[in-house]
């Protein structure tokens, strides 16, 4: 026959510990230590998370303050006269100066002195004043200008002899028009 264990003592933790085997107790202690470590690490992570969240909120507040501080400059509306003046200045800056001066230099000689050059960007032309010693040099200069590929029209507008100068030079004014995009 088998033996019967009769226990009249009430069920308690001490009684259960007495009947629990050593490996089970060791596993329970290890689990308890592991659980305590996880709780401690979780608490650290929560604190770090809260700290990072506070920093992010502080940075957002700083960004909002900086954005509010930045003064947005209103777009200035220009008067029609100002727009026209600006466009004219840009057009003068965009003249084909290199090509025009190259063509004038190719036509120039020791006998002609170029005194003044006045561009007109709207008409793609320029007026110039020059001086020579005689009328033949003046005509020769105009003819050489007409042979330049850049210029479409060369017109001698007026000429005069400077009587006050002892050399009596011919002073003449001419106008040339050029075409865009032609390189010599």
Nearest CA to 129 out of 163, 169, 95 is that of: 169
Quote the CA–CA distance of 140 and 131 in Å, as a whole number: 12
Residues in contact with 68: Cβ distance below 8 Å, sequence separation at least 6, in sequence order = none
Which pair of structure tokens corresponds to residue 24?
A: 């089970």
Helix orientation angle between 97-107 and 135-146, rounded to the nearest 10 degrees: 140
Euclidean distance between CA atoms 180 and 124, whole angstroms: 8
Helical residues (DSSP H) of the chain, grouped into ranges? 13-19, 22-69, 80-93, 97-107, 135-146
Percent of the chain predicted with pLDDT > 70: 95
The per-residue pLDDT for range 131-176, each reduced to its tens digit, is 999 989 999 999 999 998 888 999 999 999 888 888 889 999 999 9
Token reading at 6:
């009769």
Encode burial over 66-102: b for 16+ CB neighbours within 10 A, e otherwise.
eeeeeeeeeeeeeeeeeeeeeeeeeeeeebbeebbee
Q: Would you call 116 helix, strand, or coil by DSSP?
A: strand
CATH 3.30.110.30 corresponds to the domain 96-178: no
Q: Is the pLDDT of residue 121 over 80?
A: no
Q: Is the pLDDT of residue 180 over 70?
A: no
Per-residue pLDDT at 113 exceeds 80: yes
Position 77 scores a pLDDT of 79
Lowest mean pLDDT among 13-27, 45-59, 125-139: 13-27
For the chain, the domains span: 13-68, 96-178
- 80-82-83-88 Cα dihedral, nearest 10 degrees: 130
Taken in order 130, 131, 136, 141, is the CA torsion positive or negative? negative
**DSSP tag of 184:** -
Cβ distance 148 to 107 under 8 Å?
Answer: yes
Residue 182 clears pLDDT 60, i.e. is over it: no
Q: Is the per-residue pLDDT at 184 higher than 60?
A: no
Residue 181 above 60 pLDDT?
Answer: no
Kindly state the average pLDDT of the residues 52-81.
Answer: 84
The model's pTM is 0.51
């Amino acid at each position: 026959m088998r033996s019967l264990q009769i226990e009249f003592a009430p069920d308690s933790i001490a009684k259960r510990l007495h009947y629990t085997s050593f490996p089970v107790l060791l596993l329970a202690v290890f689990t308890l230590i592991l659980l305590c470590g996880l709780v401690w690490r979780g608490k650290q992570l929560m604190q770090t998370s809260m700290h990072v969240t506070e920093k992010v909120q502080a940075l957002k507040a700083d960004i909002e303050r900086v954005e509010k501080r930045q003064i947005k400059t209103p777009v200035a509306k220009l008067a029609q006269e100002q727009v026209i003046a600006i466009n004219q200045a840009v057009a003068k800056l965009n003249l084909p100066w290199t090509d025009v001066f190259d063509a004038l230099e190719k036509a120039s000689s020791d006998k002609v002195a170029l005194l003044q050059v006045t561009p007109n960007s709207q008409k793609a032309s320029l007026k110039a004043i020059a001086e020579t010693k005689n009328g033949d040099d003046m005509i020769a200069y105009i003819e050489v200008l007409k042979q330049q590929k850049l210029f479409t029209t060369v017109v001698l507008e007026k000429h005069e002899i400077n009587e006050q100068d002892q050399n009596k030079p011919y002073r003449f004014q001419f106008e040339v028009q050029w075409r865009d995009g032609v390189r010599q």
